[in-house]
Amino acid sequence: MDCSATESGWFELKAYVTESSGAGAWERDVTQASSCSGDIGGQRPYATSNHVAKCGFVNVLVFEHGACTIDHGGVGTPPPTTPPPTAFQRTVVFIKFVSVVGQQVFIRGGIDHQRRSRKSSASVIALLMQCCLCSDYCNCVKSATAKISLLPVAL
């Protein structure tokens, strides 16, 4: 993920759930805690009705709930101070969701349109990667003009 296109390392995301019938719906608005727990944790830079996560770290969220945990995801002790990452960084997002057979959960993230004007359009396109995680394949759009490809995912 392009961390330089975030708001001080933070970005928003929301889940979309589909049913086996093909019907789908966005996750309801979330009132996320102003501070996240975890060995990185941190205070979100602004209020929003979406989940907020931190680029370059492991983010653990709960579907339609405000709880959030941000960890460094590495081995050993995290650094005492963690500046916002720049450039491309591995970023992991877990959303706890209790599903039933036939449901799939997709995650879409980026910067709110009111904040987007502060970033260059190229960096926003790099940030706004639409990915899905399901039982066997993942569709990822790597830029506004990229072709959609199917990538195997091992869970």
Tens digits of residue pLDDT in 40-51: 999 998 899 999
Closest CA to 42 of 81, 12, 75: 81
Domain-located, residue 153:
no
Q: 118-148, pLDDT tens digit by residue?
A: 554 444 333 433 333 333 333 333 333 333 3
Say whether pLDDT at 112 is over 90.
no
Q: How many domains does the chain have?
A: 1
Q: Residue 71 is part of which domain span?
A: 3-114
Domain-located, residue 123:
no
Q: What pLDDT sits at residue 38?
A: 93
Say whether pLDDT at 4 is over 90.
no
Q: What pLDDT sits at residue 42?
A: 92
Domain-located, residue 151:
no
Average pLDDT, the chain: 74
Domain-located, residue 110:
yes
Closest CA to 8 of 65, 57, 55, 66: 55
Domain-located, residue 121:
no
Beta carbons of 88 and 2 less than 8 angstroms apart: yes
- Measured between alpha carbons, how far is 138 from 151 in angstroms, rounded to an integer? 5
